[in-house]
Chain A
Amino acid sequence: MKTRSSGQPRAQRAPEAARLLQLYSQMLLIRRSEERLSTMFADGEVPGFIHLSIGQEAVSAGVMSALNAEDTIASTHRGHGHAIAKGLPLEGFFLELLARDEGLCRGRGGSMHVADMSVGMLGANGIVGAGLPIALGSAMAHQLLGRKAVAVAFFGDGALGEGVVHECFNLASLWKLPLLFVCENNGWSEFLPSSKQIAFKLGELAAAFQLPHVAVDGNDVAAVADAAEKMVRGIRAGEPAVLECVTTRVRGHFEGDAQKYRNPDEVAKLAERDPLRLTAMQLQNMGVAEAELASTAESVEQRVEAAVAAARRGRDPDFEAARADVYSRVEGNHG
């Protein structure tokens, strides 16, 4: 992997190294959180289904580095990275994944529905492709209410088979909505390679809808961040766009999926493209000391462990309180 700043004078590369270190730290936070979730899931501490984004952290960290607090995102079933990078409080996140009353969604949503309206995270989603229209509507609101904000729709390459992708590309282009489509192309649609399911290239689809399309190495966090920043600038000026991040799904479709449908050599080779490894190498080439990476790792570890400990102390939610909260107000008999 080509490094971006080797050979530059130190005065110029310092801010770039600082930025990359920040992105590295964000990716590491996602990675360690998901690794922790993986072991806790295996131990039976995390209920339900979880879908890990290990190997895809550069997309979350890179795209979110181009966004402001008032920008909104609609996420996917594989949304832990999006949530963490958008700035959800880590304790509230873990409390939710452990189904606690103090969780961000009071233990009613869990991994596939984690959301935090206060940071513009409009929800992970259990339905493939469903986030696109939601992000599109959010972009309409930004446009109509005269906000400078943008909305981002995350989706995987598996979602390309969904009709709403086509509807939303059309509408975003037609209405010049402040909307960034981010395709996390990990090559897999659940248990099948997307090549067996999708007959077109995303770039060609985007072109058909007159949407600018950029494909980047989705495991190169600086490349993702640079592309996202440039596209978000264009989007704020009224040009919606499609960012395709070619990335790697290391784990199964869901946690516990033994991936028997995958060649073990292919999975083993993914380590070469590990976004954390690549970024660590880039940082070292920029002159960031090993000790600094280690101390970043240590502080991330501490944050994750503190969040896990807090989540373990959480309460079970109360059934009657949940039942009373289906509607904002109740008039008459609902059944």
Chain B
Amino acid sequence: MAELRYLRAVNQALNDAMAADPAVILFGEDVGEAGGSFGATRGLRDRYGPSRVRDTPISEATIAGAAVGAALSGLKPVVEIMFMDFTTLVMDAMVNQAAKARFMFGGQGSVPMVLRTPHGGGLGAGPQHSQCLEAWFAHVPGLKVVCPADPVSAYGLLRAAIDDPDPVIVVENKALYAMRMDAPERLDIIPIGKAATIRAGRDVTIVTYGATVKTALDAAERLATDGVEAEVIDLRSLQPWDEAAVLASLSKTHRFVVVHEAVEAFGIGGEIAARMADIGFDELDGPIVRVGAPFMPVPFSRALESAYQPTADRVIAAVRRTLD
């Protein structure tokens, strides 16, 4: 075992993928000389050269669109969009081109590209550098979306995304970049579409992903002192998602809470709740409760933002509601 940092895991995954396959290339704003605005691509330009690790101008629409063209022409591009908020500028390339190429061209080839981008608040970054917009992409047939919650997943899911023949959005939480954990020396690929049960429990299922995995675990520890054993599931992959694992847990606990940092309304949690209300209806002994951000932009002030983000207290309150 060795200590692994989240950001280092991302860097290691990129490095290993590039070493394994010369078709893997990186491009984006400041990914080369600067090593990425958060440092995710540090050292890679020196190792693989400026052709395979390219700094682009500030041209998000073309970064993503070029990734589609490169992927259709034999490369496996991994592009970085500096903040998920900036993915507003890549929507045509991702939604109309990348997502649809395989299908609308009748299965001729595919678009093996990856778009890495950090979401999430808590850093006082304000309304245009903090949003969690993953539900937009999960809503588009043809795209895959993963959201690693820890360093080992950050490595494994990114490797899986790069290996995947279809376009994958890898959503990293920037508040997690400094996160450390003990990790095996040999890191494995983690398959897309598989959830991880990270805490077993009999009384309630808490399904979550990304930074709120930690929030849910904190809530679960505090609930345990009151004799409530929560099972915490890290989805890891949002599109596709591990419906079978979630249903199996609900069938055991019969109570269900879904938590995410993204805005609660019209979100990932709403989709999961709706599916469980349908296929898990007979298993439910209480209301499905969602915990997410309120329907407002991410505020700048620390006082406002700390009230905005989901907390363990809110998760505990949600669990209490479904247990009552």
Contacts and interface: CB of A to CB of B under 8 A. Distances in A.
Interface string A164-194: 1001101100110000000000000000000
Contacts of A74: 69
Contacts of B25: 140, 144
Contacts of B75: 137, 140-141, 144-145
A interface bracket (residues with beta carbon within 8 Å of B): 35 or more
Contact of A126 (B69, B96, B275): B96
A142 B66 contact: no
Given A141-B75, A333-B242, A136 B106 contact: no
A123 B96 contact: no
A151 B243 contact: no
A296 to B, nearest CB: 31
Nearest to B235: A332
Contacts, number: 176
Contacts of A174: 57
B73 A133 contact: no
A269 interface: no
B159 to A, nearest CB: 15
A104 B109 CA distance: 12
Contact of B92 (A108, A130, A137, A144): A130
Nearest to A116: B108
Contact of B240 (A118, A126, A171, A332): A332
Contact of A327 (B57, B74, B142): B142
Interface centre among B72, B75, B106 (most CB of A within 10 A): B106
Interface string B184-208: 0000000111100000000000000
Nearest to A329: B165
B227 interface: no
Interface residues of B, number: 58
A11 interface: no
Contact of A130 (B54, B56, B97): B97
Given A105-B104, A326-B103, A327-B102, A136 B65 contact: yes
B51 interface: yes
Interface of A: 72, 74, 96, 103-109, 113, 115-118, 122-123, 125-127, 130, 132-145, 151, 163-164, 167-168, 170-171, 174-175, 322, 325-335
12 contacts: A104-B106, A115-B108, A122-B72, A134-B65, A134-B69, A134-B72, A163-B61, A174-B57, A325-B102, A328-B102, A332-B243, A335-B240
Top 10 A-B pairs, shortest CB-CB distance: A133-B65, A137-B69, A332-B193, A332-B240, A331-B193, A106-B106, A137-B66, A141-B73, A134-B69, A333-B243
Interface of B: 23, 25, 51-52, 54, 56-57, 59, 61-62, 64-75, 77, 92-93, 96-97, 100-110, 138, 141-142, 144, 164-166, 191-194, 237, 239-244, 271, 275
